[in-house]
Amino acid sequence: GLFADGVAVAQIGACNFEVCKDHVDEVITVGSDEICAAIKDIYDDTRSITEPAGALAVAGIKKYVARERTEGQTLVAIDSGANINFDRLRHVAERAELGEQREAIIAVTVAERPGSFKAFCAALGRRQITEFNYRYHSDRQAHLFVGVQTHPLTDSRADLLA
């Protein structure tokens, strides 16, 4: 199913459209990882768990503030739901780090020979490894699936993949 199923509609209702037409200046879209990060922020601030659709407004405000570099303003998000499936919490916790850009998940193919893994670790530098899977593929190569801690202000995607 859909992640934020509480707000997934095929078409906006006529009454809602009339209100939005007159009062909404902009629509901001966010992804599932950003929603997960917002759920974590709400939990960190209030010790309450919200459903993905309820955290949507917080995720949108966070994206707006980051884009506009907003400071000194009061912004309000309406959290409209706490009906989250308990089994979904693990997914939310894992994806929140990605939504905050504090973790990157990379898949790499390395040569299956002595020193390849050491060279890969050297390429990562001093970054913390948060998850690691090694899959032997053949006598010539192996596949690595690695979660790496990142810092949103200093690490770029290009730096990590270089």
Neighbour tally for 157: CB within 10 Å: 11
Q: What is the pTM of this model?
A: 0.62
Q: CA-to-CA distance for 94 and 61, rounded, in angstroms?
A: 21
pLDDT band of residue 161 (cuts 50, 70, 90) is: low
| 125-147 per-position pLDDT tens digit | 888 888 888 888 888 898 998 88
Packing angle between helix 32-46 and helix 89-99, nearest 10 degrees?
100
CATH number, domain 5-99: 3.40.50.1100
Residue of 154 and 68 predicted with greater confidence: 68
Predicted pLDDT at 125: 84
What is the pairing mode between strands 103-111 and 141-149?
A: antiparallel
Contact residues for 38 (Cβ-Cβ < 8 A; gap 6+): 30, 55, 56, 58, 59, 62, 99
Contact residues for 1 (Cβ-Cβ < 8 A; gap 6+): none
